[in-house]
Amino acid sequence: MNDNEIQLSKWQKFRKTVVWEYAQVIVVALILVFGFIRPFVVEAFKIPSGSMEDTLLIGDRILVCKFIYGIKIPGTDIKVLDFHKPARGDVFVFLPPHDRERNFIKRIVAVEGDTIETRGNTLYVNGAAVDDGHYAKYVAFSHFRGGNFPPFRQPEYLPDTEEFFDYSLTASQFRRKFPEGKPYTIPKGKVFAMGDNRDQSSDSRSWGPVDVSDIKGQAFMVYWSSDTRSTKIWEVWKLIGNVRFNRIGKLIHAHH
């Protein structure tokens, strides 16, 4: 082996070493970015029910901004970058008080200090009727018990504290005590959640308000949508045909 070949061999080994070290650095950087930063930035969810129709449909896959309400420092109650507080009209993902194993998605209709009630199909917040006809819908037949809110539809979900005593009555007891109805005041640190499909939604009317600390983030976009409820996985032509191309990239608007 001559001197040129020896020099070339050393250069090749050096180059391989440098490339391998750079590759390691890049891999570690990707792990850090997607393993540690991603959980604080954005997360994908799939819509499993029709409680938010027609804003969100079964089979929609959405992106949720996780830092919009701030990032909680692990092991503490301290939040940073919390420039946007939960607001009326936000479509948000959260852990409900009655089911700590599943994520729910609804719309915030009232925040702490607000009073809320319904009369027929009209929602009132702080005594004013909410103009929600362009995104909320009602159906003629519902599997949820009808009637105005309050009272809560399922009072057994309510916290056992004094502020909820008036809402733990049966419907007949409630009507006798408050014949004209009584607006509900949202407690501190809570928000009131309702589905846009008002008559087909299990929400805060059933299991009470949502703790702000249980909010995962705000939904902002549909990145994929397909109606595959009655399609077998091997029926490829149906899978393709059921893709809702007109919904891909659709923004999820907050109606404040």
| Close Cβ partners of 167 (under 8 Å, ≥ 6 residues apart) | 150, 151, 152, 155, 158, 174, 184
Distance CA 211, CA 192 (A): 9
Nearest to 191 by CA among 161, 162, 214: 214
| Close Cβ partners of 136 (under 8 Å, ≥ 6 residues apart) | 123, 196, 197, 198
To which H or E segment does residue 117 belong?
A: strand 115-119
The residues annotated as belonging to the active site are: 51, 106
Nearest to 193 by CA among 163, 214, 162: 214
